[in-house]
Chain A
Amino acid sequence: MIEAGYRLLKPLERWGTALENALLVLLLGAMILLATTQIVLRIGFDQGLIWADELLKILVLWVALIGSVATSRGRRHLRIDILSHYVPERFARVPVLIVDAFAALVCGLIAWHSARYVLLTIEFGDTVLVDVPAWAVQGVLPVAFALMAYRFALYCLKELLELLRRAPVETAP
């Protein structure tokens, strides 16, 4: 049953990672191109694209959120890493289990409330970049946090199962 679950999730994880990577490459590439084009326009022709600065800032927001989703995949978010190096192996799973559950809960809450916010901006017809509906840009917020919540919940579940099975702890590199 558990094995079947893992088998189902495997391709999902693979496609998810590929999508994350593609998005990060695209966003970063767009940032480099947009910012350098803007410089060439400024220096060479003494002008610039009016919407470029706003778009660049939106790209930063997207990179931050998608990057954060990617970061959650390896559990590589910044944390106060006091215990993990010192806790005896036998107890190592318990704190991980607790903090992942907590992180899942917080991300879920943020996803829920930011979804409410985005729905509200649709109602008000907010726009960015002159006439792009705001939800197209801001929608990344609930999606990213929902994905992180999902990821943390999955890790939490995995730790729980391994704890029950008394599997040995994989030592971090």
Chain B
Amino acid sequence: MIAVSILLVLLAVLGAPLFAIIAASAMLGYHQEGIDLMAIAIEILGLAEMPFLAAIPLFTFAGYLLSESGAPQRLVRLTGAVIGWVPGGLALVALAACAFFTAFTGASGITIIALGAILYPALQHDGYPDDFNLGLVTSSGSLGLLFAPSLPLILYGVIAKVPIDSLFRAGVLPGLLMLVMLSGWSLWVNRANRRPARDFSFREIRAAVRESAWELPLPIVVLGGIYSGFFAVSEAAAVTALYVLIVEVGILRDVKVRELPRIMRESMLLVGAILIILGVSLASTNYMIDARVPQQLLGLVSEMVTSQTSFLVLLLVFLLILGALLDIFSAIVLVVPLILPIAAQYGVNEIHLGIVFLAAMQLGYLTPPVGLNLFIASYRFDKPILDVCRATLPFLVILLLSVIAITFWPQLSLLLAG
């Protein structure tokens, strides 16, 4: 059995699709316990039993459609008009716009492609150092993960069976902390270049608002609807998808009807990749729970740590390593069911746990060997991967400090969660 497990790990490292690895391990487990392998079919069909799951394809589609439209340009213009007059403002514009866009497009690297392409040359033009620009754009690609309605938040809510609107509220302050720390650092690094991106102008604000008039109601309706409890998260996702479709294709005509099938397909590739892992891991998780794996893990952990603080230290180290190896979606689906009962033993709130989990995983986008943002930025801006790593390092350190703060300061997550 150990030999087979090692073989599976080896196959995973060689680049086998994760869903195949997970399915294989579940089927091996069944085989050993003498359970009919038909059980895997029943588990995968469990995908049709999970509440709110429709939110994932609907939000993903809306996000892809937005990124293909003129919305990124309009967002950058609007953010620039509102905060661009601050000295060093363009860096702040970049951070804020990226965070907002990532929240709405599900943290899949789209931000770097859609917004980075606008912001990177603009930053260069305003005389910011090249390393800073590259690092900023690369790390901003996953900033905003903690803001509603990001896909990882929804997925965590579905898996951990935590109310998703509480999670949406819980992410606000930790997400802002990350944003503020990165902004502060950006201002400090560029203290020699205090050039505002543009002069303050009511006329420009008015023009930018008018240009974005069709998209502005979107966050208000979606977030207001979810936070007030008027919409369930899957309803909000449906409204978003329909609204974006009508606005971008019907009214603004940024996207042509004949481009729609391609965009729909593109977005469903990501959805298929995430949900198939969710499906097979329903099988492996149930098997592991039957085999009392969480209890064994707890026994192991309780030999090492006794207090909540030392548990959180251990958790954080574990999550940072996990994030360096696994993408955020697979990590949520695979690991959350196993650590939830352990965290509960140490009195860690499940909402706080979720925020810590996602915040730590966000760093994984920026760490070698598998950091997605590093590769997307390297490809998009045609820079060697090592240059991107070096440029991103200071941002990674700032983010790490913010993750540490988020981990050991539960009130930050729980204050708004209610």
Contacts and interface: CB of A to CB of B under 8 A. Distances in A.
A57 B16 contact: no
B291 interface: no
A64 B239 contact: no
A173 B268 contact: no
Contact of A57 (B18, B53, B231, B326): B53
Given A32-B241, A80-B325, A141-B41, A85 B369 contact: yes
A79 interface: yes
A32 B274 CA distance: 19
Given A21-B261, A82-B369, A84-B15, A57 B235 contact: no
Contacts of B272: 63-71
B207 to A, nearest CB: 32
Contact of B235 (A35, A58, A71): A35
Interface in A51-101: 56-61, 63-72, 74, 76-86, 95-96, 98-99
A23 to B, nearest CB: 10
B133 to A, nearest CB: 23
Contacts of B23: 106, 110
Interface of chain A, main secondary structure: helix
A78 B326 CA distance: 9
A85 B54 contact: no
A82 B41 CA distance: 30
Contacts of B69: none
Contacts of A138: 41, 45
A77 B17 contact: yes
Contacts of B45: 61, 138, 141
B83 to A, nearest CB: 34
Nearest to A120: B38
A113 B53 contact: no
A13 to B, nearest CB: 15
Contacts of B242: 32, 36
Contacts of B103: none
Nearest to A77: B17
Contacts of A82: 13, 15, 325, 369-370
B305 interface: no
A47 to B, nearest CB: 15
B292 to A, nearest CB: 25
Contact of B269 (A39, A76, A96, A173): A76
Given A60-B50, A103-B16, A141-B41, 5 more contacts: A24-B268, A60-B56, A61-B47, A70-B269, A106-B20
22 contacts: A21-B264, A25-B261, A25-B264, A28-B268, A35-B54, A39-B235, A57-B54, A60-B56, A61-B47, A67-B275, A68-B272, A70-B272, A78-B327, A79-B16, A80-B15, A82-B13, A83-B14, A103-B16, A109-B37, A110-B40, A114-B40, A138-B41
